[in-house]
Amino acid sequence: MCPCECSDKRKCLWDFLIWFCRVWGLITAAGLWGVGIEAAVYKHTIAAYFLIIAVITMFLETVFLMDYWVAVCISEESTFMKIWKKILWLDDWKKGLLYAAFSFTCFINPHELPLGIVSGVMLVISFILYVIKTRSTYQEHVPETTEANETYDRFDDYPDDLEFSIINPTSNIPIMTNVADQNEILEV
């Protein structure tokens, strides 16, 4: 059995991957902060870029924490919630592509800022992890086929031979085909 006490080992692995992505993203954001501050101290022109992508990465990696607070404190009809849903849209492969785009600049002029390469590699690893994570979240949202679903028919509780349990009205009573005979129907 998994340490997370789930019965399905594959689901346990995907849950671990999701949390590993989040923790790795936070570590990457911290690394970007460090490289940005070091670059600023040594007066490199690329320092502003590292600090900006550090802020963006930190925000994107803490969105899942802020989502719990937003769901409790903000109403569904507010303008902020509409903006928030657009921010939540930027997840999985989309976030990975953004990290891949951020990583290109980290590899420019590696002799000036060697830790920039480390940050670039961390961003590339985040990109790969988020692309893999997309597979797990896609599997969660795929609807089951109709054959696999149970039917929720409201007549399942009745026996199959229901027609045999109904009294046959044509057995000894003449059939009333005339609309004028409805008084006899109402009397019964």
Domain boundaries, the chain: 9-141
Residue 103, pLDDT above cutoff 60:
yes
Report the percent of the chain where pLDDT is more than 90. 35
**Which pLDDT value is given to residue 14?**
85
For 7-58, the pLDDT digits (tens) are 778 888 888 888 999 999 999 999 999 999 999 999 998 999 999 999 999 9
Instruction: For residue 115, give the 3-state DSSP assignment.
Output: helix
SS3 sequence of 78-95: CHHHHHHHHHHHCCCHHH
Above 80 in pLDDT, residue 2? no
Higher pLDDT, 92 or 117: 117
CA distance 68 to 172: 70
- Give the CA dihedral 35, 38, 43, 47, nearest 10 degrees: 20
- Residue 69, token pair as written in the block: 């607070």
pLDDT of residue 76 exceeding 60: yes
135: pLDDT strictly greater than 70: yes
Query: Distance between CA 37 and CA 51 in Å, rounded?
Result: 7
Local confidence band at 134 (pLDDT 50, 70, 90 cut-offs): confident
pLDDT above 80 (res 95):
yes
Cα–Cα distance measured from residue 163 to residue 155, given in angstroms and rounded to the nearest whole number: 13
Query: Which amino acid type is present at position 96?
Result: G
